[in-house]
Amino acid sequence: MDLQIIQKDLLEQYKMTVNEEALFTAFNQLEDASLSTDEFSFYTSVASVYSSKIEGESIELDSYIKHKRFRIEFQPDYTRKIDDLYLAYQFASKNKPDKKTFAGMHTILARHIVSTNWLGKFRNQNMFVTTKDGRIEYFAASPFEVPSEMDKLYADLKVLLATELTISETFFFASMIHIVFVKIHPWNDGNGRSGRLFEKWFLSQKLGSKAWFVQSEKYYYTQHETYYNNIRALGLEYQHLDYSKALPFLLMLAKSVTDKE
């Protein structure tokens, strides 16, 4: 494979670390929840709630299920961003990921996060990520680099979608798509939610509908300090990222399937 931005240097080490048979078995044992109906997906609710909680939303899964499955009303501010993300997951499940549909996905999930004129559009200013106490912990790609870096990622996505992969290779590249995307950080906001959805979107394209039952967002939330530490480990500035340090992050997606609670 000739990839432009996704690095393969860690692939063999990843494959030696991940138990292919255990991952295959655990993945194939995934099944939908009994609460799901034709109109309601339990695991899409799980994904939407926990991906939102990673970003600081106060929503609880039990409350959201009451709202979404049983039509119990809450204050709109309590559910609207999660509802948007839920719709974005539904959109992804019905479309193939590419440049156009990925912008469309952001237009849905960020409807109540960014202003209308920035939905599905790349930022035009510098972006940095700060800690809760206001310290800068990461400088993202410059706005001048974002379009070309994202074009490289879309090109790599096209190659990967057309390439036959084992299940461990699929999980590896899904995780790489996730971390490369969040390091580019192309949107004004909604990058974390988009990256976690992008990862699962790729899985579903390669492995089928069972991918939507993977509780990766919940796993990242329960391990959120490790999740952020593993992202942070690559470095402070986009131009000097060290992807040789990405293995702990890359392993988390597979662990979300194989590690038993």
Binding residues for ATP: 189-196
Taking the C-alpha atoms of residue 48 and residue 93, their distance in angstroms, rounded to an integer, is 14
Return the SS3 of 257: helix
Angle at 111 between CA 216 and CA 128, to 5 degrees: 70
Annotated binding site: 189-196
Name the active-site residue from 106, 112, 185, 240: 185
Radius of gyration for the alpha carbons in the chain, expressed in angstroms and rounded = 18
Let me know if 185 is a catalytic residue. yes
Q: Provide the phi-psi class of 190: left if phi over 0, else alpha when psi is between -120 and 50, else beta.
A: left
CA-to-CA distance for 205 and 173, rounded, in angstroms? 12
Distance, in Å, from the CA atom of 159 to the CA atom of 248, rounded to the nearest integer, reads 25
Catalytic residues: 185
